[in-house]
Amino acid sequence: MSLKKQLMLFINGVVIVLLAATFWINLDNTRSFLQHQLESHAQDTATSLGLTLSHVADPNDVATMETIINAIFDRGYYREITLTDPDGKVLYKRENPLRIEGIPSWFINHIDLHPASAEAYVVAGWIPIGHVKVVSHPGYAYAELWQSFLNLLKLFVIITLASSIIVLLYLKKLLAPLQKLVDQARSIVQRRFVYQKELPKTPELRQVVIAINSMVERLKTIFEREARHTAELQKLAYTDEVTGLGNRAHFEVILNSTLSDDANALPGSLVIVHLDDLKKINSEHGYLKGNAVMKALADLFSDLASRYPQSTLARINGAEVAILLPQVPTHQIVEAIEQRIQQWPERLKDLLLSPSEAVVYAAVTDFRAGEHKADVLGRVDHALKTARDRHLKVCVQAAVAEENQDFVPVVRDALERGRLILLGQPTVHAEDARRLHDIEIYARLQDDQGNLLEARRFIPVLKALGAEGEFDRLVLSKVFEHASRQQRTVPFAVNVTERVLLDGDLQHWLLRQLKTHQRSIAFEMPEYFLEQHASACQDFMARVREAGGLVGFDGFGRELGERHDLHALQPDYVKLAHGFIKPLLQGDEKTQAYLASILEMTENLGIDVIATGIESQEAAEAFRVLGYEWLQGRYMADAERLNTDE
């Protein structure tokens, strides 16, 4: 029972006891007063009647006496009047039976009112000739007492209700800070830092609120310090000091993650911009001039990279800058690169250098998820060599194009017939493979021969057909269908696309389905959504939680900068980007320190962190040593087909 209810019961109980005691005392006083009135009334009537009868001229004139008695008795306030002679013989008697109407019998039985009686002598001269007895009727006293009881009861009820309302309102106001304290404590448990600005007036509660606010400030400071520390380690490990861009290590983390991500099934572009004769600039003009030239080159292409979501700009060696543009075809970027190179001589004027002293070349190639990094880098390096050898501003080296047109009828038929296969890859505990965190879902279409089509084969076709929304709904329907049949409590993790995030109708349908599958579905969003769709992410996460679902971030840790928003968003888990595995296995201390700081930060916030892309025992062991509990990858458990017909 809540404190408010206990206080309400106690205070109302005290009030009711006090009122009941007051009620009974008033009622008993009224009863005593009426009893006294009955006795006084009987005595006064007997005395008065005795004197009246004594003045009758003929003491034997009983008829006259009867008339006098009848006149008094007929007023109705008497139960009995009896006239007797000195020997006790009844000369005349009038009675009114004891009938009390309109008053409950339980009231009469519990309220004791005795019929009061009194006697007086009837004399002639100084000789007694008889005596008269008067008994008052209690009915009228009962009626008066009953009315008094009803009035007191009404007043009792009104005062009780009024006091209850007043106590309720007062306790609500008094205990409101206490409820805020409870909410604040729950927020702290959930690693959300809520500060109470309004202090309660009650001194004891005021001190408690001040103490908890101080604790919140301290926890917030600790988290922000950890976030800054993580960002500093990331900057140390993955940032170029001269340009402020990511370095080679950061570029490889992003490239490895991008090539292993099914979401990048559409062709992307990789651009390498090379500055000739940087060594000559450094030797003739000094390293400060060389650094200024590279900074100017980075600034020249920063504006271009910022126009495309998910783009990454990095300095991959002394004289080269790379631009990674997922899901941006080469034909959309070549012209923009040429325009930036044409603007380069203007930038050199500010540096007091001629165009011949700092010549820039660019190489462009395309890529798709599933390709080997060496193949992509080999193509772009060959394109760059060609550009330098032939003095071309831009050279494009495209991969062998796949003929997606042949797949159009296959994809359309599979979509229309709902031939969708779900594969599930579990996230397992590092020490006990039987403990599962989630099962990540991968979707594949199936042709009429039973062959599975990978995402990089059918997603471009879906985009061309404008059927991406239909595909998303089909995938989610299959996941919900399977979740309704499975007995395990392990949630299915489904990757969220931009369409789910931004399409109100699709999201409304999804959330309606989720309410019947609470805690059985987790939605994963790429980390870069936080930058591109911050408000939509927050709204979606709030709605998913309200509907009973879970939320996680995928590809975590690859974006540069501090992560103060984690404590506000409070995802249920985050999955690391794949690209950290290679530098970790190579023993890179900066990567180890950065991954350790991510683990510490997420643990302090109560957020699970999952290492992904675990393809070998060495990788699994490396993350175990760092303290990571949850691992995902083919070495831990391969993706298996889910039987949606079971």
**Kind of pairing, strands 608-611 and 630-631?**
parallel
pLDDT in tens, 155-179: 888 888 888 888 888 877 777 777 7
Specify the number of domains making up the chain.
3
pLDDT at position 321 is 95
Same domain, 422 and 369: no
Mean pLDDT value of segment 490-516: 87
Same domain, 361 and 446: no
Same domain, 138 and 276: no
Quickly count: other Cβ atoms within 10 Å of residue 66's Cβ.
16
Same domain, 424 and 498: yes
Same domain, 260 and 358: yes
**Cα–Cα dist 599/574, whole Å:** 10
Burial (Cβ within 10 Å: 0-12, 13-18, ≥19) of residue 244: middle
User: Quick one: which H or E segment has residue 78?
Assistant: strand 78-84
Structure-token pair, residue 14? 């005290």
Same domain, 58 and 93: yes
Answer yes or no: is 210 within a domain: no
Is the confidence at residue 646, as pLDDT, over 50? no
Same domain, 429 and 380: no
C-alpha distance from residue 214 to each of 46, 96, 114 (Å): 85, 83, 72
CATH number, position 484: 3.20.20.450
Q: Which of 107, 132, 161 is the last residue of a domain?
A: 161
pLDDT in tens, 211-239: 888 888 887 788 778 878 888 888 888 89
Answer yes or no: is 622 within a domain: yes
Q: 446 pairs with which residues across the strands?
A: 452
pLDDT at position 378 is 94
Residue with tokens 């029972």: 1
Answer yes or no: is 233 within a domain: no
Structure-token pair, residue 259? 């090539």
> For 129-277, where are the alpha helices, taking DSSP H only?
139-189, 203-238, 248-259
Contact present, 191 and 185 (Cβ < 8 Å): no
Answer yes or no: is 172 within a domain: no
Same domain, 387 and 432: no
**C-alpha Rg value of the chain to the nearest Å:** 48
Answer yes or no: is 196 within a domain: no
Same domain, 463 and 389: no
Answer yes or no: is 546 within a domain: yes
∠ CA 573-576-579 to the nearest 5 degrees? Answer: 170
Contact present, 371 and 259 (Cβ < 8 Å): yes
Is the CA virtual torsion 566, 571, 572, 575 positive or negative?
Answer: negative
State the residue range of the domain holding 376.
Answer: 239-397
Q: Which of 397, 432, 463 is the last residue of a domain?
A: 397
Classified as helix, coil or strand, 438 is strand
Mean pLDDT value of segment 286-299: 92
Q: What is the DSSP string of 147-174?
A: HHHHHHHHHHHHHHHHHHHHHHHHHHHH
Classified as helix, coil or strand, 577 is coil
| DSSP assigned state of 200 | -
pLDDT in tens, 24-79: 887 777 778 777 877 787 787 788 878 887 777 577 777 888 888 888 877 767 77
**Cα–Cα dist 414/405, whole Å:** 15
Is the confidence at residue 140, as pLDDT, over 70? yes
Same domain, 551 and 592: yes
Contact present, 92 and 122 (Cβ < 8 Å): no
Q: Which residues contact 623 (CB under 8 A, 6 or more apart)?
A: 430, 584, 595, 611, 614, 631
Is the confidence at residue 145, as pLDDT, over 60? yes
Same domain, 91 and 123: yes
CATH number, position 10: 3.30.450
Same domain, 291 and 153: no
Q: Which of 109, 128, 161 is the last residue of a domain?
A: 161
Contact present, 579 and 257 (Cβ < 8 Å): yes
Where is pLDDT greater, at 7 or 575? 575
Answer yes or no: is 86 within a domain: yes
CATH number, position 352: 3.30.70.270
Q: 527 pairs with which residues across the strands?
A: none
User: Quick one: which H or E segment has residue 608?
Assistant: strand 608-611
Provide the whole-model pTM.
0.70
Answer yes or no: is 187 within a domain: no
